[in-house]
Structure formats: C-alpha cells, structure tokens
Amino acid sequence: MTITHNYADSLSSLGQVITPTPLKEMQLAFFNASLAREIGLNKHIDSSETLLPWLLSPVTPLTKKAFAQKYGGHQFGQWNPDLGDGRGLLLCEVANSQGEITDLHLKGAGPTPYSRHADGRAVLRSTLREYIGSEALHYLGIPSSRSLAMFTSGETVYREQPEMGAMMIRTAPSHLRFGHFEYFYHSRQTDRLNALFDFAFTYHYPQFKHADNPHKAMLKAIVLRTARMIALWQTHGFVHGVMNTDNMSIHGITFDYGPYAFIDNYKADAVFNHSDYSGRYAFKQQPGIALWNLNALAHAFSPFVSIEEIKETLSLFETTFINQYQKAMTERMGLPATQEGVGLMQGFIAMIEDEQQDYTLSFRRLALSLSQQTQSSLPIRDFFVNREKFDSWYTAYQGAVVNRDTLAFNPSFIPRTHILQQAIEHAEKGDLALAQQVLKASSTPYNAKWDHDEIALPPKNAHQVSLSCSS
C-alpha cells in the first residue's frame, strides 16, 4: 500500500520529469471511490477532497516525479518515431495489499517535450467519452484501462472550435505500449531497450523472468491477451477507431480511447474515425490489424527470439481469437460451442446485417425471448422483415439451445454515441446529471432496468457517425 515512482526512477533516460500544468478553475467532476479502494489509493487519498489539492501542488507524491514517456508507433501503418506523452504524464504507481501495481496517469496535463508544438491539453468532450467508455468496457467484462477521476475547468482549449478543457486520471497495470519497444528497437538504443525489458519483467511479467526464454514467454502472453481482448471487442460490437501501435498495451487491455463507438445498426465494415479514409480500422478489420500490430511489436523481440519462434508465437493469435470469439458468442446465445452452434450464431449475425438491425438490441431481444422470467412486449420475429427466414432459423435455434438463461451475457445498456453526445452537451453547460446517469448505467450494463430506459435505446435516426481523433 505504497506510492512509488519505479518508472521515473529506473528508466529516467526514457523520458523526462515534468510538473503538470493545472487548468484554470479546476473542479473535481467524478471520483471513482471503489477503484481507489481496489488499487490501494484510499490509504493515501481518503476522500475526493484530498485529490485536487494533491494534484495542484508540485511537491506531492502525485506530482513530484510526474513523467513524460518517450515512444514511437505505427500510425495507420506508417512508422512515426516522433511520439511520446504529448498531453499525459505518468504520475506514480500505487500498490494494494495484494501487491498488485497500478499506474496513475494524468491526461490533459499540459505541454511536454513530446507535445510537437501542441498545447498538451484535453477537451471535455474527449475526456468524458474516455471516462465513461473505459468504465463501460470494464463492466462488460472487456479488459480495459480504468477511470479514477475527471476534472472540469474554466479554461478554453482550441481544437476544430473552442471547447472546454478537462483532465482525467486513468489507471492501468502499466502504460507500456507496443510503441515503447518499437521505438528503442528501431532507434538502435540497445541499452535502453534492454532496460525497458528488464523493467517489464521485474514489475509486470515476473513469472517469465527465469523461463528458458523469457522474451519468448512474454511475447506469447501479449499475443494471447491481445487475441482474447479483440475477440471480446468483436463480441460486443466495439470499434476502437485508431488501432495504431502506440495505442496498444502489452497487457492486452483496451487503451487510449479516441473515436470509439459501439455499432448501432450492424455493419461489419463500420468505420467511425473520420481520418480513416481507407477503412483500415473498420470493425471487421480489427482482428487482422491486431495481428499486424503484434508483428510490428515482435521486431523488438527479434534480438532475443528467433524468427521461427516469433512466427510460431504469432501463429497462436488466430486460433486463440477464434476460440475465444466462438465461445463468447455462442455463450451469448445459449448455444453449444460446436459446429452447429457456431453456424447458428453466424446465421443470426447475417440476418441482422441483411436487415440492418441494431446489434446489441438484437442479442438482448434474443435473450429475452429465451428467458422464462422476462418476456419482451413484442416477439423477436416482429422486428424482422423476412419473417419466413427468421422462423426457419429460430426453429433450428430452439432445437440447439442448451442454456435459456442468457441475459447475464447480453447487456441491456451500452454507451451509444448519441447518448454520449447528449451527455457532453449537457456537461458543457455545467450539468453533469446525464453523464452521471450514463456512468451508472455503464457500471450495471446487464441490469433489466435499462431495458425500457430511454438512455439505452438506439438513436431514432440511425446513421453511421463520424468522430475525430480528438474525440
């Protein structure tokens, strides 16, 4: 239950200590007290009132060694060495009573040496989206960074237009990205790459430190964790939007929320990032891009792992992804993970895509149709235009179902883009009530109370939205 600065102390040459620059008229908007207890921070910050003074002072354990990390990354497939913490700072690490280490990272902290002439700020719009989105994925059971605190301000930040400035503190097992290892490998800074690996083994993968080949064991763990995470993204219709390698975590958690979205009307090629002109990061492309990114990361392991061993390790991605995806999807539908079950699952997805049905709601309605305790007001078939095709599929489905209680696998609530936008517009006027309601729903996504709540409904005029990377 201690606050440390292991990264800043051990890897001081891999970045720079920078004092955060407070926003004008900062106010604490949200504080995740349960997360603070879980990570052991409550032993130091026992209330939300303690947090802001600690952040505003340059000499507290949160701020005295705040560190801007240097890394690179493949952005839309192109290598960019000129990246790093341009608007964020690693504040510290905190350990709980079980010895689990968690990074605290301040986003929107002001200029750093890696800001590339930008202001180092974040806007309320993007901050609120990340705060809610990361908590939503956590409670859906998808590995993710978490949200500890969010701050509003009276400061104006300029993007496409003037917006309100904001900050958030997020947590993660670490903030080590694929791009960290790529940068020190491609820049041929061997000593620093070795130091980075030593740090990762010591604090994050100690179980592999004495393996026959520690680096191969670590790479394998990253491949497997990433494959399982992507399978859960696909299961829930989540589109990350900007899967650059600097936005990929070595822990296999969802990281760096930008133009993310959950699919409304199902389209396998859905794209939400308005900068993604080629559809590189479309929903259906995410598994392939994840493997591409892992291959880019694997170059940094090549001094320690043979090419054949790297190929063998990367080959684990596809089977792991398929197995996890089929298991999760058939579980959602109460089907066995057999060839028949997988075929019925694929048939259902094809039907909802053909008719542009809402993805999340279609699975929830299917779960309601099975439940003996809960009945929807309309039979699920009434939502389909091609009733004959649906009836044929449903007859086969009913004959194959092995579990009729699937509501716990099919959320009634996801933070849809349109409701997030409404919460942002209210928050920009000083009203956080809707944001609080969305956050509450995000933390209880399987609760039946949201089945008939307006904040859980799809948009009335469904169309594919386009979001900016600053979202």
Kindly provide the b/e burial profile for residues 125-148, where b requires at least 16 CB atoms within 10 angstroms of the residue's own CB: bbbbbbbbbbbbbbbbebbbbbbb
Question: Catalytic one among 85, 103, 119, 246?
Answer: 246
Determine the Cα–Cα distance for residues 401 and 381; give it in Å rounded to an integer.
Answer: 17
85 tagged catalytic: no
Catalytic residues: 246
